[in-house]
Amino acid sequence: MAFPNLSSLAVRERAVTLFFLILALAGGAFAFLQLGRAEDPAFTVRVLMVSAVWPGASAEAVEAQITKRLEKRLQEVPNLYRLDATVRPGRTDIKVEFHDYVPERELPQLFYEVRKRMWDETRSMPAGAIGPIVNDDFSDVYFALLALTGPTKTHRELVEIGEEIRDRLQRLPGVHKAQLLGERPQTVYLEFDWPRLQRLGVSPLQVMQAIQAYNEMAPAGFVETDAARLYVRLPAADLAELDRLEALPLRIGSRVVPLGEVARVHLQEEDPPSYLVRSRGDDALLLGVVMQRGENGLALGKRLESFLADAQKRLPAGVHLEVLTNQAEAISAAVDRFQVKFFMAVAVVTVVTLLALGWRAGVVTAIAIPLTLSIVFLIMLARGISLDRVSLGALILALGLLVDDAIIVIEMMVVKLEEGWDRAHAATHAWHATAAPMLFGTLVTAAGFLPIGFAKSGVGEYAGNIFWVLAYALVVSWFVAVLFTPYLGFKLLPHYRKIEGGIDAIYGTPAYQRLRWLISACVRYRKSVVAVTLALLVAAGVGMAKAVPKQFFPSSDRPEVLIDIQMPAGTSIATTDALTRRIEAMLAPMPEVKSMMAHVGRGAPRFFISASPEPPDTAFAKIVAVTHDVAARERVIAAVQQAVDRGEFAEGRVRVHRLLYGPPVAWPIEFRVMGPDLNEVRRIAHEVRAVMAQHTNVVDPHLNYDERTPVLQLTFLPERLASYGLTPLEVKQQLQFALTGVPVTELRRGDRTVALIARGADAWLRDPAALATVEVRNAAGARIPLQSVAKIVVAYEDQVIKRYNRERYIAVQSEVEGAQPPDVTKALWQALEPLRATLPPGYHLEVGGTVEASGKADASIQKLQPIMVAVTLIFIMLQMREFAGTFMTVATAPLGLIGATVALLLTQRPFGFVALLGLIGLGGILMRNTLILTQQVRDFQEQGWSPAEAVIEAAVRRARPVVLTALAAALAFLPLATDTFWGPLAIVLIGGVVVGTAITLLFVPALYAIWYRLPKTVGV
């Protein structure tokens, strides 16, 4: 290499080299302690929620008057990926998702664009509608969730205690945000005896006007004096106290009657509630803690533990604060796992080199591992990369690769010492012989992971540090190999006895002679070798496509059990809660369950990066049971699933499942049926479900919504209304007053406002048959039966309408058993071909679920593969400087597929996104070995060897370091093979490196023989 000989410099300036070696180790130890710790990488969820409420409106009315308007404006926002709207009676929720390639720094501007358009739309909202409200906290991932319970305390008392704890949590170092979740708003109810009101001749409007007149906060002007402006204050009556509200005078004719005589005044939480939270069966409030980006999660976990111990001492008797989920535990387990696998990898590399080169050579090679990692830790600290699931996995993968250069250097040094060279020249020889091919080989290996580092997608952002950490480790390992390894070899290697006969004797042992014969046979039967290799490659490709199961991301090893409870659309929250309590009662006595929280009326907060919260729905509940470990989790899942299968919870659809890695995917199999008419969409969806039900691996195929629920529909009789002097609006207001209640005003209680609702007594709220007997009053005070001015009929309407990118849809979803979702989805899509061919105009099917998410991720990788190929070819050409050598090197890239397919089939591990990364990187690893081999061929030819002799002898002499590096890599990957996240990638690399390396040593000489038309008999 024309660059100054760094190996010679390191050996010559030994004191300086030792100084920097010690400095690197000390700096690495410091950096390791300072690095941030997190369960997952910092990840931007490019999603926000837009919600609007229109009390009393049907789902179709909300869709037409609100959802469509908002969607139209939202469609104007740039970089929009999709709109997913859920419309219910009186409410719409629109999930706004931006493209994954949008840089994080641009998101605030996009969120502002959404807010601005939604603010503009407030002026055109229907009368009585509230919103739209933009929630950009939807993407918060909670580091910890704490449950505050107190069976002896009222809900309001718990809220006050929780607010005090939240304020102190917010001041805790490392906490970005602390939130109080699950608070139910308080409401003051005036429950009137409707018949008594009618006897007294008081209308609901009079009651409301009287209360509003006392509670209104209105300006009274000011007096302008020479000295100052004096404001005149007429404070509203203090109606926050219930006794004052009961004493509020109502004028009824010539009499004044206190409000308490005609209504029962009481304060309670909203009734019926919209959201309930429990911890182990007790009503609870949640405290959610969001960690600052880049913070050390272990340190925050310790501070949080100390905080909780102190908070428990301050709590009143009967109040408890329990940890439900805590990422610090997962982070601690991941760091401990890394340390165990780190020492295992060091031991493996040491043993491999010890057996092959002697114990001192093994020690020299093993020292390269902590030295390289120390420098990598310093780079990670400077770049702001934390220790998390991805970076730790990348470091463990790097352990199998970063000693390759050190093994090559130390093996070459040992050979030269056995030839009789002095230590200084032997230590620096590798620089002349292999520094350049090692460097370009290292760059080629790193380039294999380039697509994931630059992928503009969610998984690219999530897993991108695989490339960066591996690239840092590989490049640093090259510098360690040419700088510190020669120095360590110079100082630590023993004195080797010179072998008589020199290099020929060293490579003339029986083992090398047998290898030489095998390689010569490959050269002789070159066409057969190449043909067999190509046949194996084709067979491996077919096996990977057909026989190896596919998946997107694997299941998580988190201990949580997730139980989703979906009741028929429109189910009351009380009914949903009753079923939820039965499941909680089943889980409570299980010793495997460490903590448990139930969320009724909506999903759980996002406590894991891929757990997307479900929108508000009184027919939905979610139970999160945290177990002690994975084995306990599986026992709980099996027990609950058996109860579900026995029909113990037949009232609703109960789904028991685990957390998944990767982007949020609600159901593994999903097809969206889209079209304008919901009845036709429903018909097609049922046909899709019937096709899915015939597949043996499909479990519980269903429509995500289907039911049309009954409603009492009033059809007014205009002539009779007019004859009685009534209007439809007056009737509606009186009905609302009698049934659910009418908002009167807002009372000011402390730092909150409390709604005051006037409504009829309970008897009128529960009996639908009583509706016909309700009497309404006209302006003259006459009582008119409702059935005299309106017809009451039972009608049916949709309780849910879902829209995807401004089109109505129904999703047909299912679980999968005994197969992987991509394989089942592909088979179902083919089975649906006849149905798809006969769909009416304007209707179509789309694939969702795992396949949609994986396709999006794979596409982001595939876009960068041409760049990866170009960069790889540039590195190879810069080193080889000829087309023949470049072709030989590139030809070995796909050979790893053979071993990868065999390994996946033997272990029955699926091929998914993580395994795809391993397969892409595998090509770079094999090309690196070939690059060094072909460079050796060139060196022999430049020394005057014939092409045939150069090819065979290069393969023989490079066999030991190539096999050693492959063996060290495969064994170092072995501890990772059992990991739930990294296991498939490790299996691919183990099989690909072992088989690919073996085939490369035999395939490259045969390919050389064909390319250069070498003679079939060669004497070496």
Q: Are residues 76 and 123 in the same domain?
A: yes
| Percent of the chain at pLDDT exceeding 90 | 17
For residue 319, name the pLDDT band (cuts at 50, 70, 90). confident
Between 802 and 790, residue with greater pLDDT: 802
User: What integer pLDDT is reported at residue 155 of this predicted model?
Assistant: 81
Could you tell me if 361 and 486 are in contact, meaning their C-beta atoms sit under 8 angstroms apart? no
In this structure, the dihedral spanned by the alpha carbons of residues 783, 789, 794 and 800, taken in order and rounded to 10 degrees, is: -90
CA distance 172 to 302: 11
Whether residue 185 has pLDDT greater than 90 = no
Between 760 and 531, residue with greater pLDDT: 531
Q: Buried b / exposed e across 674-710, counting CB within 10 Å, b at 16+?
A: bbeebebbbebbeebbebbeebebbbebbbbbeebbe
Whether residue 194 has pLDDT greater than 70 = no
User: What integer pLDDT is reported at residue 379 of this predicted model?
Assistant: 93
Q: Write the burial class of residue 894 (CB in 10 Å: 0-12 exposed, 13-18 middle, 19+ buried).
A: middle
Q: Write the burial class of residue 616 (CB in 10 Å: 0-12 exposed, 13-18 middle, 19+ buried).
A: middle
Whether residue 612 has pLDDT greater than 90 = no
Q: Are residues 29 and 50 in the same domain?
A: no
User: What integer pLDDT is reported at residue 472 of this predicted model?
Assistant: 92
Type of residue found at 114: V
Average pLDDT for 528-550? 86
Q: Are residues 9 and 83 in the same domain?
A: no
Question: 221 lies in a domain?
Answer: no
Between 389 and 487, residue with greater pLDDT: 487
Provide the CATH number for the domain around residue 597.
3.30.70.1430
CA distance 144 to 324: 7
Could you tell me if 672 and 811 are in contact, meaning their C-beta atoms sit under 8 angstroms apart? yes
User: What integer pLDDT is reported at residue 689 of this predicted model?
Assistant: 93
Measuring CA to CA, which residue among 709, 710, 736 is closest to residue 792?
710
Query: Mind listing the pLDDT tens digit for each residue in 571-587?
Result: 888 899 999 999 999 99
Q: Which of 82-86, 356-360, 426-430, 694-698 has the lowest mean pLDDT?
A: 356-360
* Helices and strands (H and E) in the chain: how many: 36, 30
Looking from the CA of 602 toward its CB, the CA atoms found within 13 Å total: 16
Average pLDDT for 964-974? 79
Q: Are residues 28 and 73 in the same domain?
A: no
Could you tell me if 143 and 40 are in contact, meaning their C-beta atoms sit under 8 angstroms apart? no
Average pLDDT for 530-536? 89
Question: 544 lies in a domain?
Answer: no
Q: Are residues 7 and 64 in the same domain?
A: no
Could you tell me if 113 and 23 are in contact, meaning their C-beta atoms sit under 8 angstroms apart? no
Question: 637 lies in a domain?
Answer: yes
Q: Are residues 374 and 499 in the same domain?
A: yes
Phi, psi of 79 (to 5 degrees): 65, 25
Measuring CA to CA, which residue among 895, 34, 925, 28 is closest to residue 470?
925
Q: Per 3-state DSSP, what percentage of the chain is helix, strand, and coil (rounded to 5)?
A: 55, 20, 25
Q: Which of 142-146, 667-671, 947-951 has the lowest mean pLDDT?
A: 947-951
Measuring CA to CA, which residue among 794, 795, 833, 984 is closest to residue 905?
984
Tokens of 791: 């017809």
Query: Mind listing the pLDDT tens digit for each residue in 456-475?
Result: 777 777 778 888 998 999 89
Q: Are residues 85 and 18 in the same domain?
A: no
For residue 238, name the pLDDT band (cuts at 50, 70, 90). low
- Evaluate if pTM is beyond 0.85: no
Average pLDDT for 364-388? 88
Average pLDDT for 492-513? 74
Question: 834 lies in a domain?
Answer: no
Phi, psi of 953 (to 5 degrees): -70, -35
Whether residue 1020 has pLDDT greater than 60 = no
Q: Are residues 113 and 20 in the same domain?
A: no
Name the β-bridge partners of 147: 286, 322
Tokens of 49: 């929620």
Q: Are residues 368 and 495 in the same domain?
A: yes
For residue 195, name the pLDDT band (cuts at 50, 70, 90). low
What is the average pLDDT score of the chain? Answer: 83
For residue 204, name the pLDDT band (cuts at 50, 70, 90). low
Whether residue 956 has pLDDT greater than 60 = yes
Question: 625 lies in a domain?
Answer: yes
Could you tell me if 956 and 516 are in contact, meaning their C-beta atoms sit under 8 angstroms apart? yes
Provide the CATH number for the domain around residue 440.
1.20.1640.10
Average pLDDT for 101-125? 89
Q: Are residues 368 and 484 in the same domain?
A: yes
Question: 651 lies in a domain?
Answer: yes
Could you tell me if 828 and 849 are in contact, meaning their C-beta atoms sit under 8 angstroms apart? no
Question: 124 lies in a domain?
Answer: yes
Question: 632 lies in a domain?
Answer: yes
Q: Are residues 650 and 580 in the same domain?
A: yes
Measuring CA to CA, which residue among 819, 806, 847 is closest to residue 688?
847
Q: Write the burial class of residue 842 (CB in 10 Å: 0-12 exposed, 13-18 middle, 19+ buried).
A: exposed
Task: Please give the tally of structural domains in the chain.
Answer: 3
For residue 863, name the pLDDT band (cuts at 50, 70, 90). confident
Q: Which of 45-49, 372-376, 425-429, 501-505 has the lowest mean pLDDT?
A: 501-505
Domain boundary among 632, 659, 686: 659
Whether residue 843 has pLDDT greater than 70 = yes
Average pLDDT for 1008-1018? 74
CA distance 628 to 631: 8
CA distance 537 to 541: 6
Query: Mind listing the pLDDT tens digit for each residue in 903-916?
Result: 888 888 888 777 87
CA distance 892 to 1005: 11
Whether residue 975 has pLDDT greater than 70 = yes
Q: Are residues 12 and 131 in the same domain?
A: no
In this structure, the dihedral spanned by the alpha carbons of residues 162, 163, 166 and 171, taken in order and rounded to 10 degrees, is: -150
Host domain of residue 84 = 46-139
Nearby residues of 604 by Cβ (< 8 Å), 6 or more positions away: 597, 611, 613, 622, 624
Whether residue 83 has pLDDT greater than 60 = yes
Whether residue 293 has pLDDT greater than 50 = yes
Domain boundary among 139, 174, 206: 139
User: What integer pLDDT is reported at residue 685 of this predicted model?
Assistant: 93
For residue 763, name the pLDDT band (cuts at 50, 70, 90). very low
The segment with the largest mean pLDDT, out of 323-337, 340-354, 496-510, is 323-337
For residue 75, name the pLDDT band (cuts at 50, 70, 90). very high
Nearby residues of 545 by Cβ (< 8 Å), 6 or more positions away: none
Domain boundary among 618, 638, 659: 659
